[in-house]
Chains A and B, each alone.
Chain A
């Protein structure tokens, strides 16, 4: 593990040199960084051309979509990249996730982690993006997150399809003794129009695989796209409406045993005293295994079936150690509040001179407010689970996960087997939302498999265990002050955001003993990089000194900062007697893409119309993951409480690859954000999480769901993500609507602490 720092340092140098030389984004065959992982696993009669394509003699075309399908439709869009250039329709191909391999590194995941705003196209910003992307390449970090998958695959997977088509054409030309220039492709065949002769891709696949790929390929123009830009049938839909066993929890192997875990409910604590005798005697229980990892300490219960494992875990009698953090929510929030007040932070945006702007501000022009958001659990529908087998010196892991190369690496280490003797299968995921970027479930399963005499063991967590052992979205507190000008517009805005550092928590878990130096972008992401122009504008992030496990939750830093920044904007609009949308038009005038989505959502929602008594609308905008998203929600007071009637969303994604999936993701992201804004909070007592299941940590139900209308725009010149973009504006749009409806400014989530929802 010590080599990682070395590799990263070397890469930074390489990356910078490459950028200076002007070859940072090259054709990937030229610098082909990794072996094709498919070469070792092709069947007889099957050929592989690059890490993304296999074609068999019987015309089965397999495309590898090496990103985790957690519902966001990524398998479909990635497969469409290859299919577009291979000139076949999606129903002709089989899509697989493929093995965990460095060949599938995600360059985009790190590219936007630098200290530059998305809309900064300066040379320095571009150079840093390229260099950070190169780090991803050299580390071989295969990951799914940050709404990056389509942006990462867009060039390289289309190139893979085009290069494959080119060698198939060459092989066909040789077979048919015809010049390549006279051949065309059509529906999985290479055809010669004049003579009517043709061969299928499968018939020439083996020949084609021995032809060196071309040095360069020309990709189709956007106007010639046949699949991209159009709504496709999702490749996973049939399996998902027939109940096919595609999820991690559905893994079923010969001689398989079952297990569950009981991990210390007190974070950072170990068992002080344990009596396992009662559990060991339970019917169906085979063995109790002590577990200790960087994530937590506790026990695994191996049994003949999952139910017996659950009952066995209940029968464990364990006394746990003391918490290392304040034991309850009040104590934790006090630490965060102190950080917000006194903590030295990192200034992430500093336009003009904020101190001077506030020094002589008359009281009447000042606004001050404090906002709070709670800890949150991811709570995907499929509880954490993982299957592992350690047999004959080989470790095999079946995991619904977002980080397969990391799992391969750390589980191999834990099992004491070489990397080459470790295989990771990534299954479909029953939701993830960032939770499956963590790897605790795989570490526990590996430790349990070591004690299972070569049997595969499926380890399933109870919902209670899942909810009480998450890596949570941290709680945050933001202090805002603004100075208004005579025109009602803000002359100065100062925002201090304090909470636990997600990056520090993550680095501490994955690379124990190392710290994450420097500022953490995620603390202020969504506040420091918004397309507003305010003469004096400062955003500061402060790390609260707490060590509860925190991590990425759908939209990451934007999930809290969307609420802080856009609540502040609504307060500024109200205090300055400016319409909230008019305020945005004025402050965003330097960013036409932003103004366009604001105008669009205003038109769609008929903003400004006179509403009947008891109804109101709220607005919010957030630029996140490269996409510009504006939302309006309309709510109504009913006898049973506030009802969400309708939400309008306008989003500029730069290039819309699949409008159907984008619409799905906007609605999905918004409902995810609304669910948290309305009802969700994780609280602590005695060092433990108080919530345990969906009865006390629920999400939006169908009877609470508003109607949706989504407009997709393509004005901006760079492509944005879609999986997380709908989430950040949802909470502030709803809170702003609640203010418009009730006159009550709710500055602390969830809103249900202050108002009642129907």
Chain B
């Protein structure tokens, strides 16, 4: 089967029941999305399909239609995406394992709501678990990213 990932069309030889996460990681070698729980409970595996954040650990690869974006596809021409830039400036990550998923969810949130409140952020990001407790900095970084995106326009 063919998958469109980060603007590339990839031929994937996988059981259609295999979750998208493992097709990306083990078959395509795209390691940004992380395995955390396998039951869509932690958000570490979050990728976009046509801009919508989905849990790739629980989505059979055979059921995927549309353009997949992973954290590797966010930055364009060597420039960090404003959300990544904000994460860097706020020094959000600790162990960093959940952060690809956090960033993908935040990107989708900001595409939906340009200037989210704390409540918007809490609602949108509640499915992304962080065991290091980076939540206060995530809130700050989402707001900084919103400002960076506005400045870009």
Contact = CB atoms under 8 A, between A and B. Distances in A.
Interface of A: 69-73, 233-234, 236-243, 245-247, 249-250, 252, 258, 283-284, 305-308, 310, 379-383, 428-433, 460, 462-463, 660, 664, 667-672, 675, 693-695, 698-703, 705, 707-708
A242 B75 contact: yes
7 contacts: A233-B91, A249-B34, A305-B18, A379-B131, A433-B131, A664-B134, A705-B136
Contacts of B133: 667-672, 675, 700, 705
Contact of A305 (B27, B36, B92): B27
Contact of A702 (B35, B41, B121): B121
Which among B37, B42, B103, B125 has the greatest number of chain A C-beta atoms within 10 A? B37
Contact of B95 (A310, A429, A462): A429
A712 to B, nearest CB: 16
B95 A702 contact: no
User: Top 4 nearest A-B pairs by Cβ distance?
Assistant: A671-B133, A430-B97, A243-B32, A71-B95
B95 A701 contact: no
Nearest to A236: B96
Contacts of B68: none
Given A242-B71, A672-B133, A236 B38 contact: no
A252 B132 CA distance: 26
Contacts of B42: 381, 694
Nearest to A703: B122
Contacts of B36: 381-383, 463, 694
Interface residues of B, number: 57
B130 interface: yes
B97 to A, nearest CB: 3
Given A252-B31, A694-B42, A430 B96 contact: yes
Given A69-B95, A430-B34, 16 more contacts: A236-B96, A237-B87, A238-B88, A240-B96, A241-B88, A243-B103, A247-B97, A249-B34, A307-B26, A382-B95, A430-B95, A431-B95, A672-B131, A702-B135, A703-B122, A707-B136
Contacts of B25: 306
Contacts of A380: 95, 97, 131
Contacts of B137: 664
Given A243-B32, A243-B100, A702-B139, A307 B87 contact: no
B39 A693 contact: yes
Contacts of B94: 71-73, 664, 668
Given A305-B27, A463-B36, A667-B136, A702 B131 contact: no
B134 to A, nearest CB: 7
Contact of A460 (B35, B72, B131): B35
A714 B19 CA distance: 51
Interface string B7-31: 0000000110011001001110101
A307 B15 contact: yes
A381 B71 contact: no
B106 to A, nearest CB: 11
B4 to A, nearest CB: 18
Interface string B97-134: 11110010000000000000000011101101111111
Contacts, number: 171
Interface in B63-78: 70-72, 75
Contact of B35 (A70, A284, A383, A675): A383
Contacts of B88: 237-238, 241
B91 A702 contact: no
Interface of B: 14-15, 18-19, 22, 25-27, 29, 31-39, 41-42, 44, 70-72, 75, 80, 84, 87-88, 91-100, 103, 121-123, 125-126, 128-139
A694 B41 CA distance: 6
A250 B26 CA distance: 9
Contacts of B129: 381, 694, 698-699, 701
Contacts of B91: 233-234, 237, 660, 664
Nearest to B21: A307
A245 to B, nearest CB: 4
B122 to A, nearest CB: 4
A177 B98 CA distance: 54
Contact of A237 (B22, B70, B93, B135): B93
A305 B39 CA distance: 18
Contacts of B27: 305
B128 A702 contact: yes
Nearest to A382: B97
Q: Which of B93, B94, B99, B135 has the most CB of A within 10 A?
A: B94
Given A241-B99, A702-B121, A705-B135, A258 B31 contact: no
Nearest to B15: A283
B80 A305 contact: no
Nearest to B128: A702
Contacts of B22: 305-307
A415 B44 CA distance: 34
A382 B132 CA distance: 12
A713 B32 CA distance: 38
Contacts of B32: 243, 245
A284 B15 contact: yes
Contacts of A705: 133, 135-136
B80 to A, nearest CB: 7
A241 B80 contact: yes
A72 B93 CA distance: 10
A240 B93 contact: yes
A693 B44 CA distance: 14
A91 B22 CA distance: 35
A695 B125 CA distance: 16
Contacts of B122: 702-703
Contact of B71 (A243, A307, A308, A433): A243
Contacts of A707: 136
A669 B131 CA distance: 10
A694 B136 CA distance: 21
Contacts of A668: 94, 132-134
A700 B138 CA distance: 14
Nearest to A256: B26
B135 A381 contact: no
B26 A306 contact: yes
| Residue among A243, A670, A672 with most chain B CB within 10 A | A243
B84 A242 contact: yes
Q: Which of B36, B75, B131: most chain A CB closer than 10 A?
A: B131
Most chain B CB inside 10 Å of its own CB: which residue of A284, A463, A671, A702: A702
Given A249-B34, A702-B139, A241 B39 contact: no
Contacts of A701: 126, 129
A241 B93 CA distance: 8
A669 B128 CA distance: 19
A671 B121 CA distance: 18
B42 to A, nearest CB: 5
Contacts of A660: 91
B96 A428 contact: yes
A237 B103 CA distance: 13
A675 to B, nearest CB: 8
A616 to B, nearest CB: 22
A698 to B, nearest CB: 8
A591 B65 CA distance: 65
Nearest to B71: A243
A234 B93 contact: yes
Contact of A258 (B26, B93, B126, B138): B26
A707 B138 CA distance: 12
Contacts of B70: 243
